[in-house]
A and B are shown apart, each in its own frame.
Chain A
Amino acid sequence: AARAAKRKNLEISYPDEPLQMFAPPSYNIKSCKRKTLYVSFKALGWQDWIIAPDGYSAFYCDGECAFPLNAQMNATNHAIVQTLVHLMEPEKIPKPCCAPTKLTAISVLYFDDNSNVILKKYRNMVVKSCGCH
């Protein structure tokens, strides 16, 4: 519950996209795509111990996975089945979920308390693409 509350605080009201008003009703929902949440180590005042990078694009997936899924280029086969079942029982079965489909690593260079320098690779940290699951 705490995490959900926190996430809610981070949500930003994105202005409508210019083309949205001309799109057919079924496309009127924001489709699942990758968005950026840039974490600036510099602005956090962490540069006394983080040498590089200045910050990183954390990225997250946001949007609806609505029928039809043709617009969702990264929809999995399962997502299509999930959509169909959801259409049959909308109250009971949830829609497919907008989630990362490809993740890559990031490396961070920082000092520890003993002034040693650490270069650490964090796997599956950066979202490369989002899709419907």
Chain B
Amino acid sequence: GFYADNGVYQTIAVDRMRRKEQREMQQEILTLLGLHHRPKPLTHGSAESASAPKFMLDLYNTLKEEDGSIDEKLFTDALKERHLNSSLGNVKTIDDADMIMSFVNHAETQRPIIRHERDRRFYFDFSEVPLEETITGAELRLYKTPVEGALPNTSFTIQVYRVEQGQDPEDKFLRIESNQTVLASMDGWILMNVTHAATLWQAFPAYNLGLFLSVHNEKGEDVHPWEAGIVGRKGADDKQAFLVSFFKTAQELHVRRTR
């Protein structure tokens, strides 16, 4: 996997390393990337079709230059542009991002804890997020399609709650994270600010019981998300809900650690 340019416009493979050395070199690169081991993603859709990888790949392609390096100013400008309408409001928090992470919804792997939670509960695994990365913002992205036959100016109120454990093991509380009113005719991504929940889950992964979505019509009646056009688990791969989090590395300088 290593190639050297010999200076006369010819690239040659570095094949003089023994297997053991190659493994060590791979480990060096993994460490450089801040990883302890080579990740083994359990399941992942094609980067072109699944919503979270697609969002990230688009972002990556916006940022990278021809030689694969990134212009830091371009990185900042692109993030700014993408987040002018962001739920996070404070663009400054996103400007400084050193790392952006999209989380896949793992609600289906979790034990149901709330009645009728299908397509209303979301679970994002924060257990691998390193503590030295400070969360500057996090948003839940839900895709909404237009509601057929709805009157003009009809709207829905979307509320996202953080699920919390009560004193009794069976008790669960819902704490409001954010809310937003959207028109029934809206077609696109709804961005809900969930920074507080993400920060809490990073520090205390055991407290992470996920998020709960509630949708109300103009009469204040609770409706199922699909009635408001919010794409659920059975919807298209590229419209599945996911969470995006922005991080700032606490230490600017690369710290050498004894390994």
Interface residues of A (CB under 8 A from B): 6, 9-10, 12, 14-15, 17, 35-46, 48-49, 51-53, 55-57, 104-126, 128
Interface residues of B (CB under 8 A from A): 1-8, 11-14, 16-17, 21, 24-26, 29, 32-34, 38-44, 47, 52-53, 56-57, 59-61, 63-64, 67-72, 75, 97-104, 106, 124-125, 127-128, 252, 254
Tell me whether B14 and A43 are in contact (CB under 8 A): no
Tell me whether B16 and A121 are in contact (CB under 8 A): no
Task: Take A107-B70, A115-B42, A119-B56 as given contacts and tell me if A38 and B5 are in contact as well, using a CB distance cutoff of 8 Å.
Answer: yes
Tell me whether B57 and A52 are in contact (CB under 8 A): yes
* Residue from the list B38, B41, B59 in contact with A115, Cβ < 8 A: B41
Tell me whether B4 and A38 are in contact (CB under 8 A): yes
In the complex, which residue of chain B has the Cβ closest to the Cβ of A3? B28
Residues of A within 8 A of B53 (CB): 51, 111, 117
Tell me whether A10 and B14 are in contact (CB under 8 A): yes
Tell me whether B14 and A119 are in contact (CB under 8 A): no
Task: Take A38-B3, A57-B67 as given contacts and tell me if A113 and B57 are in contact as well, using a CB distance cutoff of 8 Å.
Answer: no
Q: How far is the CB of A55 from chain B (nearest CB, A)?
A: 7
Residues of B within 8 A of A49 (CB): 38-41
5 contacts between A and B (CB under 8 A): A40-B3, A41-B1, A49-B38, A109-B56, A118-B100
Tell me whether B39 and A6 are in contact (CB under 8 A): no
Tell me whether B101 and A118 are in contact (CB under 8 A): yes
How far is it, in angstroms, between the C-alpha of A104 and the C-alpha of B128 when the chains are bound?
27
Residues of B within 8 A of A12 (CB): 4, 6, 12, 14
* Residue from the list B24, B57, B254 in contact with A51, Cβ < 8 A: B57
In the complex, which residue of chain B has the Cβ closest to the Cβ of A58? B2
Residues of A within 8 A of B97 (CB): 121
Tell me whether B41 and A112 are in contact (CB under 8 A): yes
Tell me whether A53 and B64 are in contact (CB under 8 A): yes
* Residue from the list B2, B128, B252, B254 in contact with A10, Cβ < 8 A: B2
Q: How far is the CB of A13 from chain B (nearest CB, A)?
A: 9
Top 5 A-B residue pairs of the complex, sorted by shortest distance between their CB atoms: A44-B1, A36-B5, A111-B41, A38-B3, A43-B1
In the complex, which residue of chain A has the Cβ closest to the Cβ of B39? A49
| Residue from A105, A108, A114, A125 having most chain B Cβ neighbours under 10 A | A114
Tell me whether B2 and A114 are in contact (CB under 8 A): no
Residues of A within 8 A of B5 (CB): 35-38
How far is it, in angstroms, between the C-alpha of A6 and the C-alpha of B24 when the chains are bound?
10
Task: Take A104-B69, A115-B44, A117-B53 as given contacts and tell me if A124 and B254 are in contact as well, using a CB distance cutoff of 8 Å.
Answer: yes
Tell me whether B24 and A114 are in contact (CB under 8 A): no
Tell me whether B8 and A15 are in contact (CB under 8 A): yes
Tell me whether B44 and A104 are in contact (CB under 8 A): no
Q: How far is the CB of B206 from chain A (nearest CB, A)?
A: 16
How far is it, in angstroms, between the C-alpha of A93 and the C-alpha of B69 when the chains are bound?
37
Task: Take A37-B2, A49-B39, A120-B98 as given contacts and tell me if A106 and B68 are in contact as well, using a CB distance cutoff of 8 Å.
Answer: yes
